[in-house]
Every structure is written in C-alpha cells, then in structure tokens.
C-alpha cells in the first residue's frame, strides 16, 4: 500500500493498493475510489461490536479490497490534519474515539478506558478512547492544529477534556475533578480534567470537534 496525504485545512489520504490489498475504515469514511474496489462490512466479533457500541462509534467497519490495482481515498470530517502512524507490537497508540480514519487490516482497533472508571463516567469525551495495536499503517484525524510533547517517566500534563488527540499506549490517564467550589462555578473550565502521565509521546489538538459544536450551538441559540 502506498499513500499520499493532500489538502491543507480539510485533508484527504489517497491510498494506492495492489491486487488483493485491503483497507479498513469507519462507516462512511470513504470519499472516492476506483470501481474495482470491493467493499465488505465487517464486525470483528461480538466483544468488539459491543465495545465499539459503548465508545459511540458504529458497531461495524468497512473493508475495501482491490481487485487489481486500485485507489481509495478517505477525507477528514473536520478541519485539521491527517497523521500516518506506524503500529507495531512495540508501538501501540491510543487515540480520541473519533480519531481513527482508516488502516491496513492488520491493525486492530479496540476500546480503551481510563483507569478510574468511577470518575471517568463523568469526565465526558476523554473517558472512552480507542487503542490501535497489531501492525501496519493507520491514519488518524487531528482536530485543529497538532501540538506534541514527549513525557518522561512520571512526567504529567493536565489536559482539558477533549484536547487529547493521540498518545503512546505507554502513557496512563486518569480523570481528576477541578478543585474548589468557586473554580467549578465560575471558572468556566468544566468539572473534570484528564491527567496524562508518561513515559510516551503525546499529541494534543487545538480545536476539539465537541468544543466547536458547543460553540456553534450556543450561537444558534442566541437571537
């Protein structure tokens, strides 16, 4: 599989496949393709289907297989960027639940929960994420601009919910409550933050889709 990422604010990844090569994607992610691409809807087993249901994603994925040399494109759903990530048994990553765009079929997608479930259920978008394991190339969406950090062992970042786009699976995450009644009532930052602890590489995003949707709905509600 060869690929090229084109576009600026709203990018697309164009994948060129040889005969028999396949790509998997979320439902509705395909933008255009050559007519010799064969599509098959797959679930991946009952456990994975249920996990994807709880993550808010479609319970099924689409597999596209080239019948002869073919081409297929996957476009981003929100202004930002598309990152190509190499997955291997020694390099697994965790991405925001809407971040997975497409991958080679040897990449395995599963649900990733933060450690403290009791706090996480009230932590909003940051609680449930997706883990990419196996091996191969995966394409991940970043909302807005990407800001990157390398955390050493025990080094931490406190991140507002929704700004964590992608990180190495060696990082751990917990949800912490904003301290102080005054801060909660008047701070305007919400009730929870996500604490990311290294070691590992972390990619943050400057405009989470959920924040953008809230801002637009707030403006539409004004007269």
Superfamily of domain 2-220: Mitochondrial biogenesis AIM24 (3.60.160.10)
Domain limits, the chain: 2-220
Would you place residue 162 in the very low, low, confident or very high pLDDT band (cuts 50, 70, 90)?
Answer: confident
| Tens digits of residue pLDDT in 189-212 | 556 788 999 999 999 999 887 665
Q: Where are the alpha helices (DSSP H) in 59-197?
A: 117-120, 181-186
| Tens digits of residue pLDDT in 52-104 | 455 555 567 899 999 999 999 999 988 999 999 999 999 999 998 889 999 99
Distant-in-sequence contacts of 118-125, Cβ < 8 A, 24+ apart: 119/174, 119/175, 119/176, 119/177, 119/192, 120/175, 122/175, 122/191, 122/192, 123/161, 123/175, 123/192, 123/194, 124/161, 124/162, 124/190, 124/192, 124/210, 125/96, 125/97, 125/161, 125/162, 125/208, 125/210
């Amino acid at each position: 599989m060869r690929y090229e990422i084109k576009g600026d604010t709203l990018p697309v990844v164009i994948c060129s496949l040889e005969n028999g090569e396949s790509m998997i994607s979320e439902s509705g992610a395909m933008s255009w393709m050559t007519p010799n691409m064969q599509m098959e809807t797959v679930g991946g087993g009952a456990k994975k289907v249920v996990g994807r249901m709880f993550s808010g994603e479609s319970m099924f994925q689409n597999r596209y297989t080239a019948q002869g040399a073919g081409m297929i494109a996957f476009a981003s759903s929100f202004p930002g960027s598309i990152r190509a990530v190499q997955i291997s048994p020694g390099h697994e990553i965790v991405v925001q639940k809407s971040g997975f765009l497409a991958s080679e079929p040897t990449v395995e997608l599963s649900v990733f929960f933060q450690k403290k479930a009791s706090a996480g259920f009230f932590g909003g978008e940051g609680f449930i994420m997706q883990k990419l394991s196996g091996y191969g190339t995966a394409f991940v969406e970043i909302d807005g601009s990407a800001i990157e950090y390398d955390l050493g062992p025990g080094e931490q970042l406190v991140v507002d919910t929704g700004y964590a786009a992608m990180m190495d699976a060696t990082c751990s995450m917990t949800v912490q409550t904003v301290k102080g009644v005054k801060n909660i009532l008047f701070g305007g930052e919400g009730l929870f933050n996500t604490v990311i602890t290294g070691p590992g590489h972390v990619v943050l995003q400057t405009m989470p889709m959920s924040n953008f949707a809230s801002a637009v709905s707030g403006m539409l509600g004004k007269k």
